[in-house]
């Protein structure tokens, strides 16, 4: 079946222009990643998970995650936590920051998060999970979405029991990554569970896990009846995969295109995180962009030992001088200087 991924769909009244969603990924989904994802065909982009405790305590780094640019919409900002009241307050901040959807994380398998009672552990606490969704849905006007795993342990089918309860509690869409928390990222995503979940709820379901090509996206959409597919690891350093999935554009990027996208990514990330944080954050991206046979392996090694991102940029452009013109074009097309930095909406706290 040849499904059109350029078809739009709705989460309540929020129109999502394509059936491809860019996954939330901690340590990856910075604003540059999301804006790039939108340019390459993602209909919806997501922030990485943001701690509701960090928002409550006005942690400077956490609030930085709530920076929204005008060309990101529609955008989901994802929050995690275990207390309905704190999650509701965080959701209000997220809405005030400009998110089109508030996404709740019930999928994170990492111990640092699960030991606080947040993330995937909530799948085994359905009453608390539903209370969180209800509190968040009551707190905001924008639709609330939930992202979850299949359950905690291998073979679990918890998502099929919990999912419908979360919809009853107010979730306007569900994303399922059908691996268990125990599996982390091993094995494969069992999308037969996604199909079952679709049959059980009357809200759109997003299928996450192992979608890396147009063929796989079409197959998952056809087999599950999901409204959209979500792509995570396949888009790391590879926005061209998004274009391939949405439009069937099979063309491999030229070296100039790779360098131009990477340089733009570096510049935007430095603006967002500052030089010091950006320069260590970006190192993994060099391998992701330059791998896949695009550049010889030692070239990446050369970049990761350079002192500043300016040196990296210079070295990249020396390797593909034609990229300069492309970078100028890309920068000219981007809306500039209009990031909306969060003004703390003190009033919603009654002056607190
Ligand atoms: C590095 C990394 C960070 C992730 N961080 C998050 C996160 O913050 N929130 C979340 O809901 N899922 C997170 N995920 C899970 C992805 O959103 C996605 O569900 C999973 O990677 C499966 O999709 P994929 O096979 O397309 O990568 C993360 C995955 C990776 C690889």
Task: State pLDDT tens for residues 212-253.
Answer: 999 999 999 999 999 999 999 999 999 999 999 999 988 899
For residue 348, CA distances in Å to 42, 140, 227, 320 come to 32, 11, 34, 51
And the tokens for 297? Answer: 């392996």
- Report the pLDDT value the prediction gives residue 339, as an integer from 0 to 100: 56
Q: Tell me if 234 CB under 6 Å of ligand 1.
A: yes
- Quick one: average pLDDT of 154-172? 98
The catalytic site residues sit at 108
What SS3 class is residue 40? coil
- Residue with the nearest Cα to atom 1 of ligand 1? 25
Q: Tell me if 183 CB under 6 Å of ligand 1.
A: no
- Residue with the nearest Cα to atom 3 of ligand 1? 25
Q: Tell me if 211 CB under 6 Å of ligand 1.
A: yes
Q: 311 CA to middle of ligand 1, Å?
A: 31
Q: What is the percentage of the chain residues whose pLDDT exceeds 90?
A: 89
Q: Could you give the count of Cα atoms lying within 13 Å of 221 in the half-sphere of its Cβ?
A: 24
CA gap 320, 331 in Å, rounded: 18
Asked if the model's pLDDT at residue 92 lies above 90, the reply is yes
Q: 185 CA to middle of ligand 1, Å?
A: 9
Q: 249 CA to middle of ligand 1, Å?
A: 25
Question: Where are the alpha helices (H) located in 60-213, listed in sequence order?
Answer: 60-64, 84-97, 111-114, 126-139, 158-169, 191-200
- Residue with the nearest Cα to atom 10 of ligand 1? 24
């Amino acid at each position: 079946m040849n499904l059109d991924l350029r078809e739009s769909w709705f989460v309540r009244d929020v129109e999502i222009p394509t059936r491809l969603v860019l996954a939330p990924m901690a340590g990856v989904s910075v604003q540059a990643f999301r804006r790039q994802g939108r340019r390459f065909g993602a209909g919806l982009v997501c922030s990485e998970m943001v701690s509701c405790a960090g928002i409550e305590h006005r942690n400077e780094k956490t609030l930085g995650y709530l920076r929204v640019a005008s060309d990101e919409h529609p955008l989901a900002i994802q929050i995690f936590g275990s207390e309905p009241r704190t999650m509701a307050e965080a959701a209000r901040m997220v809405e005030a920051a400009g998110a089109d959807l508030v996404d709740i994380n019930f999928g994170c398998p990492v111990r640092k998060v699960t030991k606080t009672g947040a993330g995937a552990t909530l799948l085994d606490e359905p009453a608390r999970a539903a209370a969180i969704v209800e509190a968040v849905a009551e707190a905001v006007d924008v639709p609330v979405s939930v992202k979850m795993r299949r359950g905690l342990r291998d073979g679990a089918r918890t998502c099929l029991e919990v999912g419908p309860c979360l919809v009853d509690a107010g979730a306007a869409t569900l994303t399922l990554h059908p691996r268990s928390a125990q599996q982390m990222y091993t094995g494969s995503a069992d999308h037969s569970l996604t199909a079952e979940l679709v049959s059980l709820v009357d809200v759109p379901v997003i299928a996450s896990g192992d979608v890396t090509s147009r063929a796989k996206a079409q197959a998952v959409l056809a087999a599950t009846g999901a409204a959209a597919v979500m792509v995570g690891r396949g888009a790391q350093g590879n926005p061209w995969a998004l274009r391939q999935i949405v439009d069937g554009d099979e063309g491999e990027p030229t070296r100039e295109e790779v360098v131009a996208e990477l340089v733009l990514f570096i510049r935007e990330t430095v603006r967002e995180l500052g030089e010091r944080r950006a320069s260590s954050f970006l190192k993994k991206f060099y391998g992701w962009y330059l791998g896949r046979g695009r550049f010889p392996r030692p070239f990446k090694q050369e970049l990761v030992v350079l002192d500043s991102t300016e040196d990296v940029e210079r070295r990249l452009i020396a390797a593909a001088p034609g990229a300069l013109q492309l970078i100028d074009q890309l920068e000219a097309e981007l809306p500039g200087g209009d990031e909306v930095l969060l003004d703390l909406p003190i009033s919603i706290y009654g002056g607190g």
